[in-house]
């Protein structure tokens, strides 16, 4: 058995064991409550795809890594009136319980790296906060692209790099000297803070914690000669216990999360070269999107990088 098979088995076992954990029972029950700060967080993430969901509302959708009782499919069906959406996950227990409760009509147990569906089986493939848990996320992404007709959607933690020392005295003094040098026509080489990357981390289930790189997604789109891509950056903050607090004024965790999100938004707006959003919604188009959809995404704040044609194909 190779490492990937071991990690896949551990992930399946971890998810199935979690469904029977007494210690986690209260957390599991909270996921069905739509009046919590945690649900408010997740709704913010779903809302980023509203233009796409409205445009592809009547088409066939597939969710990948939808192991929390298929709630991605349940919530999006309710939010966007999606009629045709099939939840899948590597483990069955929670999906089975969800079907028994009547929350989902059907489900499939699927390994994202080896989807059992034929090419172009679904119009849109949706994967939220699962991609970064996969033992090998890129083979899984190729599979998602294979089984979709129009687009793959990822909502995931974003790769970030920040300049350390941006607020240090050394940096401020250097900026002041640079200003003086320009005023008096002198040459001065300013102090450049070091770029700090995210650290490496592993989860209890054994997998490495990946993050999505926008530049790598662009390379993939060009390398596979796909229809293009769009991405939207935003900030999210999780604080333990937010599953049990209402998203209302006066709720300590809700207000703290809001403050942190707004602080991050302000830094990203003021210093885009130094601070990046910690989450990204990435839409990878298998075929070139209609101009109407492109305009709607752009109006919603999406970036649509130019797709260059391969001159040799």
Q: pTM of the entire structure?
A: 0.86
Average pLDDT over residues 7-19: 74
pLDDT on residue 78: 97
Average pLDDT over residues 212-231: 96
Tell me yes or no: is domain 3-159+199-238+276-299 CATH 3.40.50.150: yes
pLDDT on residue 29: 95
The string of pLDDT tens digits covering residues 125-163 is 999 999 988 889 999 999 999 999 999 999 999 987 655
In DSSP notation, the chain reads: --HHHHHHHHHHHHHHHHTT-STTHHHHHHTT-SSSHHHHHHHHHHHTTHHHHHHTTTS-EEEES-TTTTHHHHHHHHHH----EEEEES--HHHHHHHHTTS-S--EE--GGG--SPTT-EEEEEEES-GGGSSSHHHHHHHHHHHEEEEEEEEEEBP-EEETTTTSHHHHHHHHHHHHHHHTT-------PPEEEPPP-B-TTS-B---B-HHHHHHHHHHTT-SEEEEEEE-----TTGGGS-SSTT-HHHHHHHHHHHHHHHHHHH-TTT---SEEEEEEESSPPPHHHHHHHHHTT-B-------TT-
The string of pLDDT tens digits covering residues 44-94 is 999 999 999 999 999 999 999 999 999 999 999 999 999 999 999 999 999
Q: What is the mean pLDDT of the chain?
A: 89
- Min mean pLDDT across 17-31, 174-188, 233-247, 299-313 is at 174-188
The string of pLDDT tens digits covering residues 88-117 is 999 999 999 999 999 999 999 999 999 999
Comparison of pLDDT for 247 and 166, the residue scoring more: 247
**Residue 217 confidence (pLDDT) above 90:** yes
Domain boundaries, the chain: 3-159+199-238+276-299, 162-195
| pLDDT band with cut points at 50, 70 and 90 for residue 165 | very low
**Residue 164 confidence (pLDDT) above 50:** no
| pLDDT band with cut points at 50, 70 and 90 for residue 19 | confident
**Residue 223 confidence (pLDDT) above 80:** yes
pLDDT on residue 197: 54
**Residue 187 confidence (pLDDT) above 80:** no
């Amino acid at each position: 058995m190779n490492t990937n098979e071991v990690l896949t088995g551990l992930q399946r076992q971890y998810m199935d064991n979690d469904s029977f954990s007494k210690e986690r029972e209260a957390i599991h029950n909270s996921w069905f409550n739509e009046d919590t700060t945690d649900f408010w967080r997740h709704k913010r993430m779903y809302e980023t795809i509203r233009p796409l969901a409205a445009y592809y509302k009547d088409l066939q959708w597939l969710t990948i890594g939808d192991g929390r009782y298929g709630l991605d499919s349940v919530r999006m069906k309710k939010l966007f009136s999606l009629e045709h959406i099939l939840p899948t996950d590597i483990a069955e227990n929670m999906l089975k319980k969800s079907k028994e409760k009547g929350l989902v009509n059907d489900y499939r147990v699927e390994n994202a790296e080896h989807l059992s569906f034929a090419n172009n089986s679904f119009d849109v493939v949706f994967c939220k906060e699962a991609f970064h848990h996969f033992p090998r996320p890129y083979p899984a992404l190729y599979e998602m692209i294979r089984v979709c007709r129009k687009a793959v959607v990822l909502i995931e933690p974003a790769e970030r790099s920040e300049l350390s020392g941006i607020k240090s005295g050394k940096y401020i003094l250097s900026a002041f000297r640079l200003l003086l040098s320009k005023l008096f026509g002198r040459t001065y080489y300013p102090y450049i803070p070091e770029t700090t990357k995210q650290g490496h981390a592993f989860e209890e289930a054994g997998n490495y914690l990946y993050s999505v790189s926008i530049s790598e997604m662009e390379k993939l789109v060009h390398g596979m000669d796909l229809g293009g891509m769009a991405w939207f950056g935003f900030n999210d903050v999780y604080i333990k216990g937010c599953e049990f607090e209402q998203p209302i004024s006066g709720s300590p965790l809700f207000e703290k999360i809001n403050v942190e999100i707004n602080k991050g938004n302000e830094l990203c707006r003021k210093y885009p070269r130094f601070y990046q959003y910690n989450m990204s919604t990435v839409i990878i188009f298998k075929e070139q999107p209609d101009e109407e959809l492109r305009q709607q995404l752009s109006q919603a704040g999406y970036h649509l990088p130019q797709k260059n044609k391969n001159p040799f194909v």
